[in-house]
Chain A
Amino acid sequence: MDNENFGLAKSFSSAPVLSISPHTNFSQKEQTDIEHELNEQVGTTGEYVSEGFCFKLAPGQDQIGFMRSLKEKAPKLTDFAKGTTTLAFEFQEGVLVAVDARATMGAFISSNNVRKVIEINDFLLGTMAGGAADCMFWEKYVAMQCRVYELRNGEKPSVAMASMMLASIMRQYRGQGLSMGTMFTGSDKTGASLYYIDNDATRVKGRLFAVGSGGTFAYGVLDTNYRYDMSLDEAVNLGIRAITSATFKDSASGGVVRIYHVTNHGKWNLIHDAIDVSELHYQFEQNKGHTGRGNEGKPNKYL
């Protein structure tokens, strides 16, 4: 090879990897011992500095106490999207992800059309439960880290590794008030895989998960009908059925059903973007021979 630049474009940065990487605090090691002494004497320095982020903290010593009492201090501020039903399961053709679309603030429905599946990149998906901002921000951050990994190493990171990145972040901020319950799915060389990650830094690989207030109802439908050797059509129908049942019984879930399929060949597909659950309910009840209005059998006695 006579090309000294290994075929790279001239515009390609020849800067050392460390100086273009997002890890801007790589000189931290020299500081730690001095900082330690400093912290003993005057407390924290008031900011989180990690991996290029610099989060402003509340003044004073009791940061965790501040975060815990935010609800009384600023009503509405932390009152975002709590109820939800999200589910995902592995089957022979990959992973199926099904979610509802309701966001609530207490009893108020702030939206019935929320996107609870975060399209991290073309081979990773994350579901959203708990704090919407925490899920959105950190999963986008993982997308960035995945891209950096790809550029450095010339291959995509495995799903195990990408999920570990997110779990490590959750470990770093544990107890600081982040709220996240996500099913992290994706497809790599070994096919599709599924992880559950939450804000306690739990990271579990599994075949079937349902997360959120409607999750218990979804589990009921899923566990009775789940088989590993389902076809894609059967899996999609099961996903729709489970979400519809959950939204019927759990008032914090509702809106529309969205279905994603993660294939075994390194990408995901959007199967259904929005199916109205109130239409689905009547459809399912009519298939049973009911009206869907709950007036079968003994006539109701009013008054």
Chain B
Amino acid sequence: MDLENYTNVNIFKKVYEKREVSSIHNVVEQPHHLLKDNTQHAKGGFNPYVNNQGTTVAIAGKDFVLVAADTRISQGFNILSRDYSRTTKLTDQCVITSGGMVADIETLHKLLIAKVKTYQRQFKKTPTVESLAQLLGNTLYGRRFMPYYAFNLLCGIDQNGQGSVYGYDAIGSWDKLTYGVQGSGSELGAPILDNQFVGHNYLVKTLPDDVSVVEDTGKDIINSIAERDIYTGDQVEIVIVDKNGIRVKREPIRRD
């Protein structure tokens, strides 16, 4: 090796050149965080997280899946927006809905849309909900050491035409559910959902299975949460996924 290669700049160059050719997995981004300024933070260290709250509910039916979410985003006690949509369409048969940090939610949703497109180009077909469920799990776990601050529900129609909901924690553990609730009102919403869709505490209970009944129940649940949770309110956004595609509607709820 000649002496020129021992200057800092050349060592950088050499490593990055080598890494780029060695493997697709070894892609190295701009080393902005290696700059001294970026490593020195105020007391408490580097904190990239803020919780913008919000609640989302998803219910799987026989041949449809319904999402009811509020549209409020907050920072502390301040309301930043009253018409933020926390649900994103991934395919014609699948949507993702999330609560948590808006920046992370948007990044994650955009990343998933890109991954769906890549999948479509690569395999010449649209990914199924089951595939997307595993994909989202792996995407979240890929950030195990700096997680997305997003709590997700993946909702869609599976290959048999049945509605399905997949629930996640922030680092990618997931399970198939019949209904789920995520976000700031999850503690308030979960017992109502259990009561309405499993029939806990009832001796006889006819469970709702018609779209319009489920829709009303979903709206009621978000409405009830908005009565007791300061981070939930403004509007309820209803997204219905069925074999005809995706429908969205909004209704105002309390704005205080």
Contact = CB atoms under 8 A, between A and B. Distances in A.
A132 B169 contact: yes
Contacts, number: 145
B11 interface: yes
Contact of A133 (B23, B25, B46, B173): B173
A108 interface: yes
Interface residues of A, number: 58
B147 interface: yes
Contacts of A49: 25-26
A145 to B, nearest CB: 16
Given A27-B22, A60-B46, A133-B140, A46 B11 contact: no
B169 A133 contact: yes
Contacts of A136: 137, 172-174
Given A25-B22, A59-B39, A80 B173 contact: yes
Interface string A45-78: 1111100111111111111011101101111111
22 contacts: A27-B23, A34-B18, A37-B11, A43-B34, A45-B28, A46-B29, A46-B31, A52-B25, A53-B142, A54-B26, A54-B27, A56-B145, A56-B146, A59-B46, A74-B101, A74-B149, A76-B151, A76-B170, A136-B172, A137-B137, A137-B138, A176-B145
Given A73-B47, A77-B171, 9 more contacts: A34-B14, A42-B31, A59-B32, A75-B51, A108-B187, A133-B141, A134-B144, A135-B173, A136-B172
A-B pairs with lowest CB-CB distance, top 6: A59-B33, A132-B173, A133-B173, A74-B49, A133-B171, A60-B39
Interface of A: 24-25, 27, 30-31, 34-35, 37-38, 41-43, 45-49, 52-63, 65-67, 69-70, 72-78, 80-81, 108, 110-111, 114-115, 131-137, 176-178
